[in-house]
Chains A and B, each alone.
Chain A
Amino acid sequence: RKEVEQDPGPFNVPEGATVAFNCTYSNSASQSFFWYRQDCRKEPKLLMSVYSSGNEDGRFTAQLNRASQYISLLIRDSKLSDSATYLCVVNIKTSYDKVIFGPGTSLSVIP
C-alpha cells in the first residue's frame, strides 16, 4: 500500500463547479500536511498547508482528520486557471523530516 494515496482522477468539471479531492496517509507519525499544485511540465508550488482546525484561503478549503488519516481539498467556483495536478504531501517527523508525495489528482476545468 502506498504511504499517501489520492483520488485517481482525472476530474473534468465545468467552470463554476465545486470539486473535492481526497487523500489518505498510512503513517501515523505524519505531522505536517500540504496541498501543492503542479502545472504541466512545471515544478510543484505550495497551495496551502493543512491544519487540524481546517483552513480556508479564498475559494480553497483544506481539512485534516487525524483519526481517519484523511485530508481533503475543496475548490469552490472553479476557474479555468485551476486546471492542474493537485498533490497531497505529508511530512513524517521521526529522526528526520521525510516528505512523501501522493501521486496527484489531475483537474481540468472546462469552459
Chain B
Amino acid sequence: EAGVTQFPSHSVIEKGQTVTLRCDPISGHDNLYWYRRVMGKEIKFLLHFVKESKQDESGMPNNRFLAERTGGTYSTLKVQPAELEDSGVYFCASSQAYERRNTDTQYFGPGTRLTVL
C-alpha cells in the first residue's frame, strides 16, 4: 500500500511569491493533517481535515495560508504571499476513519522543505 506522498520535496522561492504544497494521503484515510517544523523548533499542528471538511484550523499561522481538500482526497496548502518566517518543513499526515476514535495512528509523508529567500 502506498504511503503518504508530498510534492514537491523541496521548494525555494522569494519573499512575496506564492507556493502550493500538495499532499496525497493513504487511500481511504478520512483524516488529513498538516504540520510545520521551523528550524530549531518542535513540529507544530496547522490544521486537520475530516474528508473535505476543515475540522480544526486553529494552528494556521495567519490568513496567508490557505488549505483545501476538495473531494476529500488530496490536499493543497497555499502560502500567498510567502514571508521569510514561513521557511521550514511542512509535513502532511493521514489516519483512518474519523468514526473509529481509537484508530488515531498518523502516518507521515516525507515533507516539503520550503525555503523563502
- Given the known A-B contacts A87-B43, A96-B55, are A46 and B106 also in contact in the complex, defined by CB atoms under 8 Å? yes
Contact across chains for B101 and A99 when beta carbons are under 8 A apart: no
Contact across chains for A102 and B104 when beta carbons are under 8 A apart: no
Determine if A1 is an interface residue (Cβ-Cβ < 8 Å): no
Closest to B37 in A: A101
A44 touches which one: B41, B43, B44, B101 (CB < 8 A)? B43
Residues of A within 8 A of B35 (CB): 101
Residues of A within 8 A of B44 (CB): 101
The main secondary structure of chain A at its interface with chain B is strand
Contact across chains for B107 and A99 when beta carbons are under 8 A apart: no
A14-43: contact bitstring with B at CB < 8 Å (1 yes, 0 no)?
000000000000000000101000000011
Number of A-B pairs whose CB atoms are under 8 Å?
Answer: 47
Determine if A49 is an interface residue (Cβ-Cβ < 8 Å): yes
Closest to A95 in B: B56
Contact across chains for A99 and B45 when beta carbons are under 8 A apart: yes
Distance between Cα atoms of A45 and B107 in the complex (Å)? 7
Residues of A within 8 A of B74 (CB): none
B94-117: contact bitstring with A at CB < 8 Å (1 yes, 0 no)?
000000011011111111000000
Residues of B within 8 A of A45 (CB): 108
Closest to A2 in B: B42
Report A64-111 residues with CB < 8 Å from chain B CB: 87, 91, 93, 96-104
Contact across chains for B42 and A103 when beta carbons are under 8 A apart: yes
Contact across chains for A46 and B105 when beta carbons are under 8 A apart: yes
Determine if B48 is an interface residue (Cβ-Cβ < 8 Å): yes
A104 touches which one: B33, B42, B56, B108 (CB < 8 A)? B42
Residues of B within 8 A of A101 (CB): 35, 42-45
Query: Please, could you name 21 A-B residue pairs with CB atoms under 8 Å apart, sorted by A?
Result: A4-B42, A34-B105, A43-B91, A43-B108, A43-B110, A43-B111, A44-B91, A44-B108, A87-B43, A96-B48, A96-B55, A96-B56, A97-B31, A97-B48, A97-B56, A98-B45, A98-B56, A100-B45, A101-B42, A101-B43, A101-B44
Give the A-binding residues of B (Cβ under 8 A): 31, 33, 35, 41-45, 48, 55-56, 58, 91, 101-102, 104-111
